[in-house]
Amino acid sequence: MAVRDVLLLSTDSNTVNAVSLALSSNGQLANSNIYRDLEQLVSRLEQGNIPAVLFDIDATGERVLQVIEPVIRKFIETKFIALSGIMRNDLLLEAMQVGVRQFLLKDAIAADLANILHRLCPDSAGTMHGGAVTVLSAGGGTGATTIAVNLAAELQPTEPGPTLVVDLDPSYGAVGTYLSLDGEYGAFDLFRRNDNIDAQLIQSTALAASANMHALLSTARRRLGEVVPFDAPKIGRAVEACRRAYRWTVIDAPRIPLDSAAELVKKSNATLLLMQLTVKDIQVARQMITGLSDRGLASNRVIVVATRYKKRGLSISLEEAHRALGLPATQQITTLSNDFAAVTAAVNLGKPLVQTAPRSDFRRDLQKLAGTLAAMPAPVSMARGLANLFNA
């Protein structure tokens, strides 16, 4: 593993020199990889490609273990190694409890650090930190799976490599049906595991629908309809693993508990809430927006999308729907055209619209939406909140 992949958090010059010397046989520890501030360290971690972080307990204070725990849980593929001048059982136990992978005495840095890094991080290649889009639905017939699959197809040209579409519907497994895929394992099988869900596990479980699109099914077709675990924190960690494995992940989650939906919103660059312009869908959409707000997520974290939209002949207008949802004036409702014939043909062929009907109005609307999503920033950084505690 190259030295450029290692970050160090320390304000002590002796520790910095010891680490630099221990790694000198594999290059020099760059000054840009030495941090005195946790906020800046977290900002760098959010860019991806960091398999290991060393942090100095002595220089930063024992409270760093309390503060760094959410960082360790967020960046599950990064190995955190604590450096300490003394061996104390209580300190060692707390470090292990928060997820530290190695507790290293400073006297042993010269002899052991390089070997520890090679053992914990044998291969640092292939890590990335991509974007995620969650698709929620306020009612049946909104086309959640169709939109999820086709959004994944439209996001492909923005970056090289395949995109991933994830099916979180345990009842129907519509992504697999759309793409004519079946497999032994899927997302809910991963949720049943006790160990961590990492990028490698996501990639090995996903199936290739094409060279440009992979799919993580909900579960094997024969197990559809079984009771499945909706563990919100584990779902959040799974999304983080997907973002490390793929440049873009689109999550089809039409029937999911609000706690899990809130976790998806937190972990996604953008969340779409699909509805038709009907009284029932609008009522459900408002309840979902309220439920997310009760969990600390403002309505502007969600893009409300009216599907099967027609400019004429609808009993409820966009303006009436906007008022009924209680959205702020600055938050508009996005529309996707009603192009039933083109969408049905694409579903029947098991292919995205870019292949079957590239000029359809629905596909053009999706292209515009994909362009908007691709330009959106990553989820709100946790660095600023952590900095206040760390620097208190």
The residue extents of the domains of the chain are 3-126, 131-374
How does pLDDT run across 320-351, given as a tens digit for each residue?
999 999 999 989 999 999 888 999 999 899 89
- Report d(CA 161, CA 158) in Å as an integer: 10
With bands split at pLDDT 50, 70 and 90, how would you rate the model's confidence at 158?
low
Give Cα separations from 118 to 31, 48, 241 (angstroms). 21, 19, 22
Fold of 3-126: Rossmann fold (3.40.50)
- Identify whether the C-beta of residue 84 lies closer than 8 Å to the C-beta of residue 104: yes
Structure tokens of 310?
A: 């027609």
With bands split at pLDDT 50, 70 and 90, how would you rate the model's confidence at 126?
very low
Structure tokens of 300?
A: 């502007």
How does pLDDT run across 98-123, given as a tens digit for each residue?
889 899 999 999 988 988 887 777 54
pLDDT at 170 over 50: yes
- Report d(CA 191, CA 209) in Å as an integer: 22
| pLDDT in the model for residue 2 | 52
Spatial CA neighbour of 367 closest among 354, 377, 355: 354
pLDDT at 215 over 90: yes
Fold of 131-374: Rossmann fold (3.40.50)
How does pLDDT run across 9-33, given as a tens digit for each residue?
999 999 999 999 888 765 567 788 9
| pLDDT in the model for residue 62 | 56
Go through 342-356 and write b for each residue having 16 or more CB atoms within 10 A of its CB, e for each that does not. Answer: bbeebbeeebbbbeb
Mean pLDDT of 267-283: 94
| pLDDT in the model for residue 255 | 87
- Count CB-CB contacts under 10 A for residue 259: 14
Please state the length of the chain: 392
Answer yes or no: same fold for 3-126 and 131-374.
yes
271 bridge partner residues: 134, 302
- Report d(CA 245, CA 204) in Å as an integer: 10
Q: Helix 64-74 and helix 89-97: axis angle, to 10°?
A: 30
